[in-house]
Amino acid sequence: MSEYAFLLPISLFLLLGVMSPGPSFILVVQTAMAKSRSAALAVALGLGVGATCFALLASAGLFSLLAAVPTVYLALKVAGGLYLCFLAVQIWRSASAPVALDDSHVQRPGGLANMFLLGLVTQLSNPKTAIVFGSAFAAFLPAQLPDNALVVISGTTFVIDAAWYVAVALLLSTQRPQRFYRRFKHYICKGASTLMGGMGLKLIMDP
């Protein structure tokens, strides 16, 4: 198992990264408190799959393309920033909507699939994450990878990312956080919208 020792620093790096508040965290919190546990869990799994996609891209060295071709990176960055701004507008508009904490919306055809896709697209909306993954892998991956390393790396990435957001979803979809949400919904939505929009604008304007 010593041949997989490189997973320890990579796992620690990924865990610290996923625990840092960002658009994905805001989305899970908002979904868990505003919708339902099943919706938040679907979003969490989508985020995990999105992180796994970045791990695969970084392992394949495709992150170098984003670093080497500025126009491709710029286009993806602007598109991702605009998507986050779109989510911010949606959250802001929901501030005055009545609260319906149930699973009726996810029990409709495609309901959970839509929440999964929301998480996946939100995770993939930030191409900077690909650079971060690529930097971590460049720093910690050995020159000669053991057999099945790509599968192990991808699985580890999914478990770390999805497990964190599943834990957040389970914690914040309980009755106490949801009662708090119902009481302060207007302010929570506008605060989450402001943070999400700020992150989207920062993604667009940052060099």
* Interatomic CA distance for residues 102 and 48, integer angstroms: 24
* CA–CA distances in Å: residue 197 to residues 23, 65, 71, 190: 9, 27, 23, 10
Tens digit of pLDDT for each residue in 27-71?
998 888 888 889 999 999 999 999 999 888 877 766 666 666 778
Say which amino acid occupies 176. R
DSSP string for 62-118: THHHHHH-HHHHHHHHHHHHHHHHHHHHHHHHGGGSPP--SSTTTSSTTHHHHHHHH
Pair 29, 101: CB distance under 8 Å: no
Pair 146, 85: CB distance under 8 Å: no
Tens digit of pLDDT for each residue in 144-188?
767 777 788 889 899 999 999 999 999 988 888 878 877 887 888
> Domain map of the chain by residue range?
23-97+104-205
Q: Is the pTM of this model over 0.75?
A: yes
* Interatomic CA distance for residues 129 and 206, integer angstroms: 14
